[in-house]
């Protein structure tokens, strides 16, 4: 894992589908000169309802393809995979592996540490998929960082289809978000982590509704942005920034199925037009 890497090699990013594009977008903002190969396993999406054993098998296949393409580091842009497979992939692969859970938890702990002087309870709220919440990944990650804070997780499965349908505002998403936020606000959380990479597209509305329900501002932690910051820190520490700082890095998009439907929605996640999406086959994990 500490092996010296080729600075010009791309970063590998994978997810079960579209959501990880928010991580790719954050990486392109934080590290505009880095090239990225993004893999969406659209043939087997979603991962959030699969068993841990199945998710690990899928993750191995995704990781293997990206490693074969010569990436210098692997970013798991999926909370479900990050919850169950990060340590295994780190042990099996001869390159750095970064997930989205640890950076999100770290940012939440840092944000909450700045609020502990208040009289509010020291609680972190997490919105995530059923699989991520059931894994207990965020409470474990928070506990490893600090024993001072509680972590309250709430599954919010309807937010993913809302995002993919482009329902980012209006009465329906407001009602759905309120339903998921109410238990967290009742638990008096002081910070909310978006524990699914789809959710950043709803971040403004989530922040608005959390403030309305709580009667105060509630900091919202975007785990995609937190992950991009962690990758930037790692690249700086290893001194493997691309040498050509004037050229913007490339973004190659790969999927395992339905490239046209992926392309049609991907621009919403990336905030930019998508030129091409290529189909690849994964070897059995």
Q: Give the active site residues.
A: 78, 196
Instruction: Report the Cα 231 to chain-centroid distance in Å.
Output: 12
Distance CA 29, CA 227 (A): 12
> Residues with Cβ < 8 Å from 106, sequence gap 6 or more?
141, 145, 226, 230
- Could you tell me if residue 143 is left (phi over 0), alpha (psi between -120 and 50 degrees) or otherwise beta? alpha
Instruction: Name which of 153, 149, 152 is nearest 116 in CA terms.
Output: 149
d(CA 24, CA 249): 12
Q: CA 57, CA 37: separation in Å to the nearest integer?
A: 20
């Amino acid at each position: 894992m500490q092996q010296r890497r080729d600075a010009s090699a791309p970063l590998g990013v994978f997810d079960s589908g579209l959501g990880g594009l928010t991580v790719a977008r954050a990486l392109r903002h934080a590290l505009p000169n880095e090239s990225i190969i993004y893999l969406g396993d659209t043939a087997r999406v979603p991962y959030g309802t699969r068993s841990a054993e199945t998710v690990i098998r899928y993750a191995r296949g995704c990781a293997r393809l990206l490693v074969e393409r010569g990436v210098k580091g692997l970013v798991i842009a999926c909370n479900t995979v990050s919850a169950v497979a990060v340590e295994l992939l780190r042990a099996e692969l001869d390159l750095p592996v970064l997930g989205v859970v640890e950076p999100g938890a770290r940012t939440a702990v840092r944000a909450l540490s700045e609020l502990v002087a208040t009289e509010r309870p020291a609680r972190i709220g997490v919105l995530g998929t059923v699989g991520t919440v059931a894994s207990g990944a965020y409470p474990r990650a928070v506990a490893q960082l600090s024993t001072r804070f509680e972590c309250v997780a709430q599954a919010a499965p309807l937010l993913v289809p809302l995002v993919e349908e482009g329902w980012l505002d209006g009465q329906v998403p407001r009602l759905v978000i309120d339903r998921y936020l109410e238990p967290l606000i009742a638990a008096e959380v002081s910070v909310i982590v978006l524990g699914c990479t789809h959710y950043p597209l709803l971040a403004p509305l989530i922040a608005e509704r959390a403030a309305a329900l709580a009667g105060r501002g509630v900091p919202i932690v975007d785990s995609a942005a937190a992950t991009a910051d962690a990758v930037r820190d790692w690249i700086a520490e290893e001194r493997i920034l691309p040498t050509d700082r004037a050229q913007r890095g490339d973004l190659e998009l790969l999927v395992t199925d339905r490239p046209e439907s992926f392309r049609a929605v991907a621009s919403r996640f990336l905030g930019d037009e998508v030129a091409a999406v290529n189909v690849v086959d994964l070897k059995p994990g």
